[in-house]
Structure 1
Amino acid sequence: MTDLSRPGLQLHPLREQLYDELHSRPFQQIAAPARITHLAVLCSEEERRQQFGHLQTLCRLLGSEVPQAPSSCFHHDFGALRVRRETHMEFVSYTFIRLHDGEVPDLFAETGLSGLPAGWLEQLKGQVVGAFHVAVESSELSGQQLLPAAKRHFEGMRLVGSSPQQGDAHIWTSFRLHSDGYGRFLVYNRRMTSSQLGRLMQRLLEIETYRLLALLGIPVARDIAPNLAAMDAGLVSITQRLAGDGEVDETDILGELTAMAAKVEDYRARSTFRFNASLAYHELVLRRLSELREDEVSGHMTLSEFITRRVTPAVRTCETIGRRLEDLSRRIDRVSDMMRTRVELSIQDQNRALLASMDRRSRIQLMMQHTVEGLSVAAISYYAVGLLKYIVTAAYEAGVPLDKDLTVGVSVPLVILTVWGVTRRIHKHFHALAKEERSAKAGGNRREP
């Protein structure tokens, strides 16, 4: 057999951590009777660090070894009190367990918090979103027989009860806050071992904690929902204005669309994480409920029936609002694209009109250029004939036998033709240069792709 500790094989640096991850949050063993208090505290990273320092203070006050580094699950038995601290993505949970002996009339007179040093809990940082007590008792009686005794501990509130694990236990709760500000669960153990009871308690604590966290998305959904109806109506109005035959002010519409898109993105930034978290917590609640394998007790609603009937519609509301936000965002994008297309077409029409106007001006300038060229030929010919006249006069005075007036008159058409020919030649030369430049640019554009 090969020993992996020997040199040779290269082991992944996280291999041991991956094995330990499965055992990072072990189930506890709980024997009845017991008193349990569970807290779920929302906190920031700074508050989480302060909480760990507060946990170190608790260990010192109870005379126990102080942990030096935070962990995902801290568990310590202080004798009469057990403390369990678990860190999660957005909250930290605390479970305090006191093993109880003897019978008392009020099962919630003592709780898991009774063994804590005075004032320690009040200094815990963060926002408590879940806080409830669990009283665990042993009883062989049936659920119908236990009902009258259970009602006395819930301040007259309507109860929800079930018999999980095929009748091995009975659970009663009201899913309400009581006069002490805590929720309450009463669990009667009939035939479960300490390990089985510990697993049942873990599922029960998770169900109530995740149920509360799943409902955190409801206030956000209720705050956003009324605004979505108004935004949806506004978007319909914009679409109808764009689809109509009348003229519209593109600037105003683009301003409205931009403001609407900014609001939608603000809502999405505020709600996306919360809604996704609600869906994830709800899925965990349903999974934990299925693991209970509940039976009905004396006509009362089970935990599964109550939670799925009350919590599931709330979570579906969050899901619906999230989908409406996504749909509204996509519709705004489509209308914005349509608006941009409309603006681009308008710009293209303006460009075509501008080009047509430039073309007309170019033709006018060309006609004026031809006119100027004709006038230039006449002016140059006039000055050339004047110069030629001086030359003829000088030659005549020098004794050259010629008719001065006839010579000047005959030279006029010759000068005009010569000037016109030179002007045309220069004009053709510049046209040829411009044509070569256009051909060179066209060839460069074809080569670029």
Structure 2
Amino acid sequence: MSCQLDQLDLHPLRDEIYEELHSRPFQVIPCPARITHIALLANAEQKQSQFRHLQVLHQLLGCAVPEHEHSCYELVCGDLRVRREMHMEFTSYTFINLNRETGAPDFTQTGLSLLPTGWIEALEGQVVGAFHIALEPMTDSAEQDLQLIRPWFEGMRLVGSSPQQGSARVWSSFRLHSDGFGRFTILNRDMSDSQVGRLTQRLIEIEIYRLMSLLALPMARSISPSLADMDQTLAELTQRLADNEQVDEKQILAELTHMAARIEAYRAHSTFRFSATRAYHQLVLTRLDELREDELSGHLTIREFMTRRLTPAVKTCESVGYRLEDLSRRVDRASDMMRTRVELSIQHQNQELLSSMDKRSQVQLMMQHTVEGFSVVAISYYLVGLLKYLVDALYNSGVEFDKSLVIGVMIPVVLFTVWFSIRRIHHHFIHLADKQGNES
């Protein structure tokens, strides 16, 4: 009994995941052929413009125009093949010229020879990699091959190897030539068209990924002097803090904040580029392993050349990235120390301020008690004056008593009464303040 998958809950990405492994198949390339590969950095708008420009190419060649964009698209029109691949940050074009009547086996004919005039010049994006590949049959000896192809590379020093267990010979200078393109030559001995396509694809990816991995090197070189200056400044500052020198905490904290801002700006511009460099370098190493090279006498192999030139550049980028991260952590620690010093200084100032306020409060309390004493005397004076009017009125009305004695006895009684009343009021407010403080 067969299972009907349409009755199951299928993951929405299931088909896409299956097709991903087949999205960029190896090409089948006969020998001889001329190939040109161009890689362009492009944003989303430029990629859309490139697709419209590809549609124009179909119209110029009289081919059916594609309506939808694909991550990997191939056009076959007579002896011309065009392959367009979309990557995360660049777009690559591979032009294959299969016309076997191209004339002399050199780079006078390229993969661009069959394109309509002016089409390639109107392609949008920044060119990162552009190189020609000449695919030819191998001669009887390596020396004869070398004599044949050396003029193709304008006398430049060559890097050569024999990949695929001697089934082919590959030559390149890994330099730009007079036409602004790099050049590769693949001499085929007994590889099939499928094997040639795989070898060509590996060489293309090695060169493009090599160039993409080196995009971070100028940035690393420009950042490195600033990092050295900030590193020295931070070391001096940390030493001053360790020696307990008197420093202007506010100024030093401002310098650290400015330094941290510069580091974060460098990280924002370089983190993606340095991460991409590591990824591209790993892809280059993987493709080199797949070549399975044998050495050609007297010449560096592609792996030896890459290991000697590319790996140090990638290590430089990694080193600058690590220095950025390390300097960021050190600045954070120094900032924490400075903030701790500032907080301790503020706490010390607050303690001195509280001590000063306590002393002033004691003085104010003593003054308050003094004022209260004067207040008792003043209130008692006016109250005795008022009571004296009452005594005079009673005495004049005919009541017989010793007026002087009554007034004399009245004075201490009034003083005590006023003093006792003020103390009661004072204690009442203190009790009220304590109660509100406990509730809060």
The one-letter code of the counterpart of 1:82 is R
CA–CA separation in structure 2 for the residues paired with 1:98 and 1:415: 125
SS of residue matched to 2:62: coil
Query: Residue by residue, what CA displacement relative to the aligned partner does 1:226-285 show, whole Å, maximum 9, x if unpaired?
Result: 111111112122223333444222222122222212221221122111111111111100
Q: Which residue of 1 aligns with 2:388?
A: 389
Query: Residue by residue, what CA displacement relative to the aligned partner does 1:264-322 show, whole Å, maximum 9, x if unpaired?
Result: 12211221111111111111000000001101012311100101110000010001011
Q: Identity rate of aligned residues, in percent?
A: 62
SS of residue matched to 2:177: coil
Q: Which residue of 2 aligns with 1:254?
A: 253
SS of residue matched to 1:258: helix
Q: Which residue of 2 aligns with 1:350?
A: 349
Flag structure 1 segments of 5+ consecutive residues without an equivalent. Answer: 442-449
Flag structure 2 segments of 5+ consecutive residues without an equivalent. Answer: none
Change (3 A) 1:103 1:68: closer
1:84, distance to aligned residue in structure 2 (A): 0.1
Which shows bigger deviation, 240-249 or 56-65? 240-249
SS of residue matched to 1:37: strand
Q: Within 5 Å, give how 1:263-302 maps onto structure 2.
A: 263-302=262-301
Q: Which residue of 1 aligns with 2:323?
A: 324
Are 2:102 and 2:109, in contact at CA under 8 Å, matched by a contact in 1? no
CA–CA separation in structure 1 for the residues paired with 2:167 and 2:175: 25
SS of residue matched to 1:94: strand
The one-letter code of the counterpart of 2:363 is I
CA–CA separation in structure 1 for the residues paired with 2:142 and 2:169: 7
Q: Which residue of 1 aligns with 2:415?
A: 416
Are 1:144 and 1:297, in contact at CA under 8 Å, matched by a contact in 2? no
CA–CA separation in structure 1 for the residues paired with 2:336 and 2:133: 58
Q: Which residue of 2 aligns with 1:4?
A: 4
Are 2:40 and 2:91, in contact at CA under 8 Å, matched by a contact in 1? yes
TM-score where L is the length of structure 2: 0.97
The answer to whether 1:66 aligns with 2:65 is yes
The one-letter code of the counterpart of 1:4 is Q
Query: Residue by residue, what CA displacement relative to the aligned partner does 1:124-151 show, whole Å, maximum 9, x if unpaired?
Result: 1111111111111122634344222222
Q: Which residue of 2 aligns with 1:447?
A: none
Which shows bigger deviation, 378-387 or 98-107? 98-107
Q: Which residue of 1 aligns with 2:21?
A: 22
RMSD of Structure 2 on Structure 1 (CA): 1.5
CA–CA separation in structure 1 for the residues paired with 2:269 and 2:141: 48
SS of residue matched to 2:153: coil
Are 1:211 and 1:281, in contact at CA under 8 Å, matched by a contact in 2? yes
The answer to whether 1:38 aligns with 2:51 is no
Q: Which residue of 2 aligns with 1:427?
A: 426
SS of residue matched to 1:24: coil
Q: Within 5 Å, give how 1:145-156 maps onto structure 2.
A: 145-156=144-155
The one-letter code of the counterpart of 2:351 is R
Are 2:105 and 2:136, in contact at CA under 8 Å, matched by a contact in 1? no
1:164, distance to aligned residue in structure 2 (A): 0.7
1:106, distance to aligned residue in structure 2 (A): 4.0
CA–CA separation in structure 1 for the residues paired with 2:103 and 2:159: 23
Which shows bigger deviation, 38-47 or 260-269? 260-269
Q: Within 5 Å, give how 1:329-344 maps onto structure 2.
A: 329-344=328-343
SS of residue matched to 2:398: coil
Which shows bigger deviation, 430-439 or 32-41? 430-439
CA–CA separation in structure 2 for the residues paired with 1:351 and 1:359: 12
Which shows bigger deviation, 145-154 or 186-195? 145-154
Q: Which residue of 1 aligns with 2:358?
A: 359
1:108, distance to aligned residue in structure 2 (A): 1.2
The one-letter code of the counterpart of 1:409 is G
SS of residue matched to 1:83: strand
Are 2:170 and 2:186, in contact at CA under 8 Å, matched by a contact in 1? yes
- Aligned structure 1 segments of 4 or more residues deviating by more than 6 angstroms: none
The answer to whether 1:124 aligns with 2:123 is yes
Query: Residue by residue, what CA displacement relative to the aligned partner does 1:323-347 show, whole Å, maximum 9, x if unpaired?
Result: 1111111111111111111111111
Are 1:144 and 1:298, in contact at CA under 8 Å, matched by a contact in 2? no
Which shows bigger deviation, 79-88 or 17-26? 17-26
CA–CA separation in structure 1 for the residues paired with 2:317 and 2:246: 40
Which shows bigger deviation, 228-237 or 213-222? 228-237
Q: Which residue of 2 aligns with 1:57?
A: 56
